[in-house]
Amino acid sequence: MRGREQPFIVYRRGAGIFTVRPRGAKGWLQIGVWAVLVVPLVLWFFDHASATAKGDDFVPALFLFCMGMLAWVIAGLWWVFAHSQVIEYSVMLRDKQRARRAKQRRG
């Protein structure tokens, strides 16, 4: 995919520090669909937890819920990074500084 066709922009600020921005309606739609995909897991967990809050089934259910949420987050980040334009924040700031200095020298 080319830059304008990609539904997300990821600004990387360092190792493990990034910001994801949807680009246009396509990006927002994909974020919305991704958010809706977790609803069945959350509903199942709250239904199960309210029925057996103090029972023996609660700890395994909590573990399954946490693993499901972790898988949901990892898969979502994998999807976003595969369909995004990644911008290194430090490189972007450096380029802006150089352009500003060049403009000051000329004018």
| pLDDT tens digits, one per residue of 67-86 | 999 999 999 999 999 999 98
Over 70: is that where the pLDDT of 92 sits? yes
pLDDT at res. 89: 83
Over 70: is that where the pLDDT of 26 sits? yes
Mean pLDDT value across residues 14-43 = 92
Output DSSP code: residue 18: E
Distance of CA 75 to the CA centre of its chain: 9
Q: For all residues of the chain together, what is the average pLDDT?
A: 88
HEC readout, 53-90: CCCCCHHHHHHHHHHHHHHHHHHHHHHHHHCEEEEEHH
φ, ψ dihedrals at 10, nearest 5°: -115, 120
Domain range for 57 is: 3-106
Predicted structure pTM score: 0.74
Number of domains comprising the chain: 1
Over 80: is that where the pLDDT of 6 sits? yes
> With the C-alpha atoms ordered 13, 15, 20, 23, is the resulting torsion angle positive or negative?
positive
pLDDT at res. 55: 74
Q: Which of 28, 10, 26, 14 is nearest to 77 (CA)?
A: 10
